[in-house]
């Protein structure tokens, strides 16, 4: 049965909640992480700490703390071979082991060893699950003291990225609202704050086996299976703003690299505003067509023409079990939906365009989703959106 049709409100009975924490040489920060879980308004039933390839005192500190905690702390030491010693495999194993503790009806949460979760983190995640979510993503903030040490130009760049991301998400909400993820919401999907039902976790076969970006990949995978994904803005955690991190390709690496030289392109989830408008408009139309196609055979000739594909190809795609999978296939096949990235230098322009599109939509002046369908145009050596 597709996730899309699961019951909106689950039983309020007690759900076993287990937290998975992958850690590698986190002696300086693991204490704060564990004690934050002990101060919860609703403590987890258990936490599993996976110490992968550790060579410091992380284990000693954790075992000393375990004697006084209001929940069971399971400590597992594991050594990955060099080729597999990465953040993705560590989280995959940690969550797999924690999932076994939670049981088939439980809820699995994960955070990072350098993270301090808010006092109501567990409780609010469980409330979101009880309200019908299969997966819940929380907001992630950098420790304010450490953030102040990050160069100003990096903080400005980050603020521009976040502003455009929020505006594009607002466009998505207006054109193709998701009942499982109402406004207000956010766009983050970081491993520092994720909760998932065991049923959804098992259906996805756990965390994807990738070296980095396993959190985003996991959320995307469940999205393709029509899981009910909630980006709850009231759920928050605080992470370290250090520039010497443990995960290759993680936030610390990004900060350190951008301190040396600004990246050419912003976050790869960003795209020109007009592209995003067109994408979300098409997504809404395809969603409606998918529902009709599954109810009865129907012709979608006009939609096929607008997408630049053949009716028979579109019909075959719409027959997929999950809308998320059908949409992913259309995004991959439709030339109008190929992603263009946004240069950091172009962020102010794209923010202005996103605001303009929002004003036009709110004013009843609906933009033509087929506009600006030509390939990337170059003006003065810079990409235009």
pLDDT of 97-127, one tens digit each? Answer: 999 999 999 999 999 999 999 999 999 999 9
Q: How far apart are CA 21 and CA 1, in angstroms?
A: 31
Whether residues 56 and 133 share a domain: the answer is yes
71 Cβ contact list (under 8 Å, min separation 6): 37, 38, 43, 44, 45, 46, 47
Q: What is the percentage of the chain residues whose pLDDT exceeds 90?
A: 77
Of 231, 260, 289, the last residue of a domain is 260
Question: For residue 3, which of 136, 132, 176 has the smallest C-alpha distance?
Answer: 132
Q: How far apart are CA 147 and CA 144, in angstroms?
A: 5
Mean predicted lDDT score pLDDT of the chain: 88
Whether residues 195 and 281 share a domain: the answer is no
Whether residues 229 and 286 share a domain: the answer is no
Owner of token pair 């392109």? 265
Whether residues 88 and 28 share a domain: the answer is yes
pLDDT of 242: 65
Total count of domains within the chain: 2
Whether residues 290 and 254 share a domain: the answer is no
Is the pLDDT at 45 greater than 70, yes or no? Answer: yes
Mean pLDDT for 137-152 is 92
What pLDDT digit, counting tens, does each position of 153-203 carry? 888 999 999 999 999 999 999 999 999 999 999 999 999 999 999 999 999
Sequence-ordered strand ranges (E) for the chain = 17-23, 46-52, 72-78, 107-110, 115-117, 135-142, 194-197, 229-239, 377-379, 382-384
Does 358 fall in a domain?
yes
Helix axis angle, 251-260 relative to 152-175, nearest 10°?
120
Whether residues 283 and 186 share a domain: the answer is no
Confidence band for 151, pLDDT divided at 50, 70 and 90: confident
Does 222 fall in a domain?
yes
The boundaries of the domain holding residue 129 are 3-166+178-260
Does 173 fall in a domain?
no
3-class SS at 237? Answer: strand
Whether residues 39 and 96 share a domain: the answer is yes
CATH number of the domain bearing residue 24: 3.90.550.10
Whether residues 256 and 366 share a domain: the answer is no
For residue 58, give both structure tokens.
Answer: 């992380």
Confidence band for 346, pLDDT divided at 50, 70 and 90: very high
Whether residues 96 and 188 share a domain: the answer is yes
Is the pLDDT at 12 greater than 50, yes or no? Answer: no
């Amino acid at each position: 049965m597709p996730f899309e049709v699961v019951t909106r409100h689950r039983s309020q009975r007690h759900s076993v909640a287990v937290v998975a924490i992958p850690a590698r040489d986190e002696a300086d920060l693991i204490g704060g992480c564990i004690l934050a879980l002990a101060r919860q308004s609703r403590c987890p039933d258990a936490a599993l700490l996976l110490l992968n390839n550790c060579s410091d005192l992380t284990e000693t500190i954790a075992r000393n703390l375990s004697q006084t905690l209001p929940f069971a702390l399971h400590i597992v030491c594991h050594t990955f071979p060099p080729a597999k010693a990465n953040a993705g495999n560590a989280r995959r194993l940690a969550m797999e082991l924690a999932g076994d503790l939670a049981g088939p009806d439980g809820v699995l949460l994960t955070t990072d060893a350098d993270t301090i979760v808010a006092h109501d983190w567990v409780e609010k995640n469980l409330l979101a699950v009880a309200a019908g979510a299969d997966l819940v993503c929380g907001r992630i903030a950098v420790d304010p003291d450490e953030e102040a040490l990050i160069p100003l130009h990096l903080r400005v760049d980050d603020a521009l990225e976040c502003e455009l991301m929020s505006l594009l998400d607002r466009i998505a909400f207006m054109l193709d609202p998701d009942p499982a993820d109402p406004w207000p919401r956010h766009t983050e999907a970081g491993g520092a704050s994720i909760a998932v039902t065991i049923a959804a976790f098992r259906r996805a076969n756990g965390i994807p086996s990738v070296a980095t970006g396993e959190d985003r990949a996991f959320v995307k995978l469940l999205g393709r299976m029509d899981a009910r994904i909630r980006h709850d803005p009231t759920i928050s955690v605080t992470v370290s703003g250090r520039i010497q991190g443990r995960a290759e390709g993680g936030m610390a690496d990004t900060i350190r690299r951008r301190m040396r030289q600004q990246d050419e392109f912003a976050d790869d989830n960003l795209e020109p505003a007009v592209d995003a408008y067109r994408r979300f408009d098409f997504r809404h139309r395809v969603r409606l067509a998918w529902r009709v196609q599954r109810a009865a055979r129907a012709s979608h000739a006009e939609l096929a023409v607008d997408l630049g594909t053949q009716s028979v190809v579109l019909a075959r795609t719409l027959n997929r079990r999950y809308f998320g999978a059908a949409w992913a296939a259309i995004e991959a096949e439709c030339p109008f939906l190929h992603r263009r990235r946004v240069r950091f230098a172009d962020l102010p322009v794209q923010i202005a365009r996103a605001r303009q599109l929002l004003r036009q939509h709110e004013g009843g002046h609906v933009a033509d989703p087929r506009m600006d369908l030509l390939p990337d145009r170059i003006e003065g050596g810079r990409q235009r959106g």
